[in-house]
Chain A
């Protein structure tokens, strides 16, 4: 039932990870391979921070779309979201999503929302969430970003701004 990777005691038996490094450094070619791997990992990380998903669609009904980099896609569960995405629902539409910091948002019918800003790197103290509800209704349940830095979370409408202090609320932006 359990996969082998889970059952095996460990692939890494040492109390001291530096032993692994010393092993790797014992031959020059192994060392350069390691450096290359590190550089690649770093590059991937930077790329992820810029282009990686910031969350995923979780629920949908009726007409619900995500416009990402000018391309419109049906908002099916599992669809990855990115900073700058526009979310739209039609007359009979609704849509729910969860961002990587566990912020939960859902839209009612005839709604349009833009995710203007999303920064979630607690290790580097990079935190920020800015969304704009252009029309329709939404529910917002705050996540880790609001817990760590409440003033970095803003929900805007055409005429007003909601500052979040760790909480759940509903917004009607009218039509």
Chain B
């Protein structure tokens, strides 16, 4: 009896609670692809709140954002279209070079077909190519060498049929080390070109 009455009360109260918690404009945090969850800071006209838990939402149309939990069902109902339109996440390839010049290691040369296949598998693919060097020699020379490495990879991809206008090429020289080393240090893992296929 008591239980039935409680349930009835909940049934009456629930729509009221849901209405109170149903802003027209809101944001909900999701876990990242790798399973971790980041943070968002939501600001209204009169205050702000932080959300750091997946499945927790905050209103965007109240002076001070109010947090509330949302079910996966409601997320799917509201955001099914936006979720369905999510592009495939970018794919990253790292190609390594022999010391000094712009000659790929044999293993990295063998990765080229995988880069081409990844690009072919995407509609409207674009590619970023960034060249890097180790700390051997002068930083300005290394900037040029990084560009030479990036250009070599670009030319190979274009020769294999990729569109030049959707490829961007740049060099970070020795300014973006994968393995931190002192100056003038040979480091195979720093002699690389990073190719991002989007």
* A contacts, CB < 8 Å to B: 1-7, 9-18, 52-53, 56-61, 76-79, 94-98, 100, 102, 104, 106-109, 111, 123, 137-139, 141-142, 157-175
Contacts and interface: CB of A to CB of B under 8 A. Distances in A.
Contacts of B78: 137, 170, 172
A157 B81 contact: no
A142 B31 CA distance: 12
Contact of A107 (B25, B44, B85): B85
A6 B156 contact: yes
B42 A161 contact: yes
A3 B101 contact: no
Nearest to B90: A102
Given A5-B152, A57-B124, A159-B45, A169 B103 contact: no
B5 interface: no
A5 B155 contact: yes
B146 to A, nearest CB: 10
B145 A17 contact: yes
Interface in B85-142: 85-90, 99-104, 109, 112-113, 122-126, 128, 136-138, 141
A79 B32 CA distance: 26
B27 A169 contact: yes
B198 A56 contact: yes
A129 to B, nearest CB: 14
Contact of A96 (B37, B85, B125): B85
A120 to B, nearest CB: 10
A172 B26 contact: yes
A123 B155 contact: no
B43 A79 contact: no
A163 B24 contact: no
A172 B78 CA distance: 8
Contacts of B156: 2-3, 5-6
Contact of A6 (B29, B88, B159, B168): B159
* Of listed B59, B81, B136, residue having the most chain A CB within 10 A: B81
Interface string B3-26: 000000000000000000000111
A15 to B, nearest CB: 4
B69 interface: no
Nearest to B82: A108
Given A10-B102, A14-B101, A157-B25, A78 B87 contact: no
